[in-house]
Amino acid sequence: MGWIKRNLFFVIGGVVALGLLGAGGFYIYKGWNRNSDAADKLQEIYGTLKNLQQQKPSPGNSKIDNTKIAREQHRQLREWIDAAGKYFQPIPPIPADNVTSEAYAGELRRTVDTLQRDADSAGVVLPPKYNFSFSAQQPLMKFADGSLEPLAVQLGEVKAIAEAIFATRVNALDSIQRVRVSADDAAGPAGDYIDDHAVTNDLAVFTPYVVTFRCFTPELARIISAFATASNTFLIKAINVQPAGATSAALGNAAGGMPGVGTPPDVGMPGRFYPGNPGGNMPPPPVQPPVQPAVGKGGLQTILKEQLLRVSLEVEIVKLLPKH
């Protein structure tokens, strides 16, 4: 004890030094652990970067920054989406809001009357008393439950299609066919409908229509151009073109005679002369000299002769789903 008393400051200094050494050792140990963990994370990051560099495409290097290029392409894609949005404008339903049976019945009659007058102004021939595929709904004042909303949408879309057809001044509009969306459609004529249905995916709803009309090739080209440049998205899925007189010719053949060719008299009819009936009291018809082919007068030959066409277009209207 005497030694401690004589060397008290030395003892206190030694104890403090030992404490500081212990604290320093603990600090070094903790720092070593942190450095070890940081080295493991750095090694993991380095391994991830190495894997990314080996992938195709890779983030790039000091010469090519693929990450920056990807950001630029993403910006360009967003700009394209915004620019393309003007071609996906929805067609407003008729009526646009407050769809009740009374409101829809009134708007249906006004719309059909307006389209009939527009067709007359454009010189487009319509079937008699044509209701633009709404024959089942035209006389009604009350409609099936749950059908007013889809019927209002279809009325707006049919109006848009008809106006596009009238703007090109085709010769005649034979029909516009739509899908059945109401129980009332079961009572409508079959010619107003197609056996199809709307299709919905993650982005949009595709509603099909079939439009049949008669025109010449310039009007057909204008119709395709009008659908392609419309602010509403019309997709032409198929085009069926045939001569407008093909149907009537087929009916004439089925009736038993070629168009423009007379039918020979009945065998055994008295007073007629034909081969196999030499006893007829009428003289044989005079023999006609063979017709000589006409000699051309020179000039350009007709390569393509324009004729009236009957066209059926399968059109889909694309309606984007609302963003969530």
Q: Which residues contact 195 (CB under 8 A, 6 or more apart)?
A: none
Tell me what the mean pLDDT of segment 152-164 comes to: 94
Query: Residue 213 — pLDDT band, cuts 50, 70, 90?
Result: very high
Which pLDDT score is estimated for 121? 94
> CA 320 to CA 200: how far, in whole Å?
10
Q: What percentage of the chain has pLDDT greater than the value 70? A: 74
Query: Residue 223 — pLDDT band, cuts 50, 70, 90?
Result: very high
The larger pLDDT score, comparing residue 56 to residue 198, is at 198
Which pLDDT score is estimated for 174? 94
Tell me what the mean pLDDT of segment 25-36 comes to: 78
The larger pLDDT score, comparing residue 58 to residue 160, is at 160
Of the given ranges (113-122, 139-148, 281-290), which has the lowest mean pLDDT?
A: 281-290
Query: Residue 126 — pLDDT band, cuts 50, 70, 90?
Result: very high
Which pLDDT score is estimated for 67? 78
Radius of gyration of the chain (CA): 42
The larger pLDDT score, comparing residue 268 to residue 210, is at 210
Which pLDDT score is estimated for 302? 58
Which pLDDT score is estimated for 316? 92
Tell me what the mean pLDDT of segment 25-50 comes to: 79
Tell me what the mean pLDDT of segment 270-288 comes to: 47
Which pLDDT score is estimated for 96? 84
Packed helices 148-167 and 101-122: angle between N→C axes, nearest 10 degrees: 10
Query: Residue 232 — pLDDT band, cuts 50, 70, 90?
Result: confident
What is the average pLDDT value for the chain, to the nearest integer?
78
Query: Residue 291 — pLDDT band, cuts 50, 70, 90?
Result: low
Query: Residue 51 — pLDDT band, cuts 50, 70, 90?
Result: confident
> CA 244 to CA 82: how far, in whole Å?
43
- pTM comes to 0.61
Tell me what the mean pLDDT of segment 188-201 comes to: 90
Helix (H, G, I), strand (E, B) or coil at 264: coil
Give the best-scoring range by mean pLDDT among 32-36, 38-42, 108-112, 268-272. 108-112
Q: What is the 3-state secondary structure (H, E, C) of 182-228?
A: CHHHHHCCHHHECCCCCEECCCEEEEEEEEEEEECHHHHHHHHHHHH
Whether residue 240 is predicted with pLDDT greater than 80 in this model: the reply is yes
